[in-house]
């Protein structure tokens, strides 16, 4: 049985920009995406629930293919967090419009939201996987992990891949992961992170209950999680707009492209840029990442 959840489109929202950012020509095995929709599955109350997100003139639409309608509030909350639908972007746009080098973004990328992943454990593991390697190889490793230990479900004649839960990954050996081309160190980091989440030592609710500074402290207490990884999780999974993955190569390249820093070691220049965007650091990172990519080839529909 199919059902539709309708969410009123917020102001300054472009579904096409968000779709483009979710895809970005990367081979993310957890999503199925086309020009008009994106599908994935998440675990709710111990079982995986598939859904598809699309849009109409006035609404963001979530299609559920399940008889268990009790999952609907969880899926709606996931999508609202995934696309950051509840945030008023006008304060950010006001600051951005006053910046001489970046003001063009208010029109060029109008309606782009802070695209993250509300699944915090998944985000943490992905952040560990992508440390200090190119994105193509990172997605290859992610796909191997998912195909080997995550499984899949059939959805409207298609296969949706599933991310393996912490309870599964904590029981792996270093050799299990090395067989998938993970380094020894990353294998250790992944197993340790999985153990922390499986035991309840760490969780999304624990991180949400503390300050941004305490979030960093709790995450960096995990072996192999430094400031970059911690801030990536805070930014992408906790919808914290102050998350700032300093040292990110793409971020530094975008700042160089806009002549806002004098080389990638210019941390004073980086800090000077982000000081103007206090409270909106993660959004600026998102828009700078967007600036690195080729423009959209299809029309962008924006709710003004």
Q: How far apart are CA 180 and CA 82, in angstroms?
A: 29
| Cβ 284 vs Cβ 271: under 8 Å | no
Domains of the chain (ranges, CATH numbers): 1-116+248-304 (3.30.310.20), 119-153+163-238 (1.10.340.30)
Per residue of the chain (304 residues), give pLDDT as tens: 688 999 999 999 999 999 998 987 677 889 999 989 999 999 998 889 999 999 998 999 999 987 777 899 999 999 999 999 999 999 999 999 999 999 999 999 999 999 989 999 999 999 999 998 988 899 999 999 999 999 899 988 889 999 999 999 999 999 999 999 999 999 999 999 999 999 999 999 999 999 989 999 999 999 999 999 999 999 999 988 888 888 888 999 999 999 999 999 999 999 999 999 999 999 999 999 999 985 544 433 333 3
Q: Taking each helix axis from N to C terminus, what angle separates 184-199 and 120-129, rounded to the nearest 10 degrees?
A: 170
51-60 long-range Cβ contacts below 8 angstroms, 24+ apart: 51/75, 51/79, 52/156, 53/79, 53/83, 54/15, 55/9, 55/15, 55/301, 58/8, 58/9, 59/6, 59/7, 59/8, 59/9, 60/6, 60/7, 60/8, 60/9, 60/15, 60/85
Would you tell me how many other CB atoms lie within 10 Å of the CB of residue 144? 17
Cα 131 to Cα 140, 209, 222: the distances in Å are 13, 27, 15
């Amino acid at each position: 049985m199919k059902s539709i959840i309708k969410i009123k489109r917020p102001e300054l929202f472009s579904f096409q920009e968000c779709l483009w950012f979710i895809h970005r020509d990367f081979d993310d095995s957890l999503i199925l995406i086309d020009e008009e929709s994106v599908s994935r599955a998440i675990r709710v109350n111990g079982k995986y629930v598939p859904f598809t997100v699309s849009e109409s003139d006035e609404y963001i639409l979530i299609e559920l293919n399940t008889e268990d309608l009790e999952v609907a509030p969880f899926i709606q909350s996931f999508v609202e967090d995934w696309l950051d639908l509840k945030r008023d972007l006008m304060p950010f746009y006001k600051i951005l419009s006053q910046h001489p080098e970046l003001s063009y973004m208010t029109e060029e990328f109008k309606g782009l939201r802070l695209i993250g992943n509300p699944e915090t454990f998944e985000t943490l593991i992905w952040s560990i996987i992508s440390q200090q390697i190119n994105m193509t190889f990172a997605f290859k490793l992610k796909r191997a992990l998912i195909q080997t230990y995550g499984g899949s479900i059939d959805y409207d004649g298609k296969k949706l891949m599933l991310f393996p839960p912490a309870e599964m990954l904590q029981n792996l050996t270093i050799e299990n992961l090395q067989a998938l081309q993970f380094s020894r160190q990353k294998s250790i980091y992944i197993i340790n992170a999985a153990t922390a989440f499986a035991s309840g030592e760490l969780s999304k609710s624990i991180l949400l209950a503390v300050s941004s500074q305490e979030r960093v402290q709790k995450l960096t207490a995990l072996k192999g999680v430094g400031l970059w990884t911690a801030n990536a999780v805070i930014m992408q999974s906790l919808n914290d707009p102050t998350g700032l993955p300093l040292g990110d190569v793409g971020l530094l390249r975008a700042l160089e492209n806009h002549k806002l820093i004098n080389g990638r070691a210019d941390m004073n220049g980086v800090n000077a840029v982000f000081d103007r965007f206090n409270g909106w650091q993660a959004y600026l990172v998102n828009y700078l990442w967007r600036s690195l990519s080729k423009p959209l080839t299809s029309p962008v529909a924006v709710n003004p």
